[in-house]
């Protein structure tokens, strides 16, 4: 029974890790930089409500968008949008 559990857990992870490497190579393009210097309202229209809102050590506002559902809890696919004086200064997606 334990051996079956090990194979079930290791099988999908082994297959998905090789596919994940191929996906990363294909999606190396930078995230949508069209939002740079956009206001908070524009970001809300484009990405919706953020999952988390926080402040950086530099007192900038940081909106974090996490994927709705993930098999493995990590930060892959998470989008970070940083605002300074109400305008987007940085935006990136964790691959």
CATH code, 2-93:
3.30.1450
Phi (first) and psi of residue 3, to 5 degrees = -65, -40
More confident residue, 2 or 56: 56
1 confidence band (pLDDT: 50, 70, 90): low
Domains in the chain: boundaries: 2-93
d(CA 88, CA 56): 14
d(CA 77, CA 66): 7
Tens digits of residue pLDDT in 32-68: 667 888 889 999 999 899 999 999 999 999 999 988 8
Whole-structure pTM value:
0.61
Residue position matching structure tokens 């974090």: 64
Strands 52-55 and 79-84, sheet pairing: unpaired
């Amino acid at each position: 029974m334990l051996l079956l559990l090990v194979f079930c857990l290791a099988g999908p992870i082994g297959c998905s890790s090789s596919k994940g490497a191929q996906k990363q190579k294909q999606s190396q393009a930078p995230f949508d930089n069209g939002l740079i210097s956009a206001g908070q309202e524009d970001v809300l229209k484009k990405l919706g409500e953020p999952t988390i809102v926080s402040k950086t050590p530099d007192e900038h506002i940081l909106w974090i968008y996490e994927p709705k559902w993930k098999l493995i809890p990590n930060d892959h696919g998470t989008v970070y949008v940083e605002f300074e004086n109400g305008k987007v200064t940085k935006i990136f997606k964790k691959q």
